[in-house]
Amino acid sequence: MAFVTTIDGTRIFYRDFGQGRPIVFSHGWPLSSDAWDGTMQFLANNGFRVIAHDRRGHGRSDASATGNTMDTYADDLAAVIKQLDLHDAILVGHSTGGGEITRYITRHAASDGTGRVAKMVLLGAVTPLMGAVNGNDDGVPVEVVDRVRKALIDNRSQFFLDFPDVFFGMHRGGGAPRSEGWRMDFWKQGMAADINALYACVDQFWASDFREEMKHISIPALVIHGTGDEVVPFEITGKRAAEILPNATLIAYADAPHGFPKTHQDRLNADLLAFARA
């Protein structure tokens, strides 16, 4: 297995295969790089090099009692990109991963001067601000994330069996088909993560505020979000992100759930391929 060792000694696992322009993926909570399997293989089959890492405390990366913050997530991503010496890359982030790549660009790539990042893609991302904090009164209330934190402590195994219904929209009439494979995969990835990392990350995806820094990201950005997202609501995140980013294109997937990278994988793969080739 391949790892990058960060400045604080945490080992970050990553996968890297294919040939061509690099596309780097950052996953959502509580998952790992395994969440990208189908899309990574598709893009590798179509002439791209694909890289995805497990966030610290998730998947095969080391758990760390400290550093479970959006800034450190961005620093860990920077360590992967630097070690692999990537240039002209396209960064793709789903949910929490959207925040991670945004913070990486403003914290590292904007001042790097080496042309490491050329484009970005936000998929159902928590940017610009998901939570009802810092004057974002119509954001997701703290009571919602409090219930998530309590579920992690009380019985996270059961929570990770139940949550896929909402994540993939399987509970809705006319929504995604019920897939026990998706449920089992979600449970497996969630249970592989460290409880402290999972708990800390909840506050990071809910309360991290990207509104000001996003105004200064000038690279081409593709924002894709499901209008039926019940986890990271479209109106307060995807729609606003596309309005703030200076060079953004918005694609709204009608009635798609938060987990649309799985439920709408074929459509997403086509949209990513077109954006990467443009």
Dist CA 245 CA 191 (whole Å): 35
Candidates 207, 193, 209; CA nearest to 64 is 193
Q: What is the largest CA-CA distance in the chain?
A: 50
Catalytic sites, residue numbers: 95, 229, 258
Q: Where are the alpha helices (DSSP H) in the chain?
A: 37-45, 70-83, 96-104, 110-112, 142-162, 164-167, 180-192, 195-207, 211-214, 238-244, 260-263, 265-277
Give the tokens for residue 247. Answer: 């060079």
Q: Provide the edge-to-edge strand list for the sheet that holds 2-5.
A: 2-5, 11-17, 48-53, 21-26, 89-94, 117-123, 221-226, 248-253
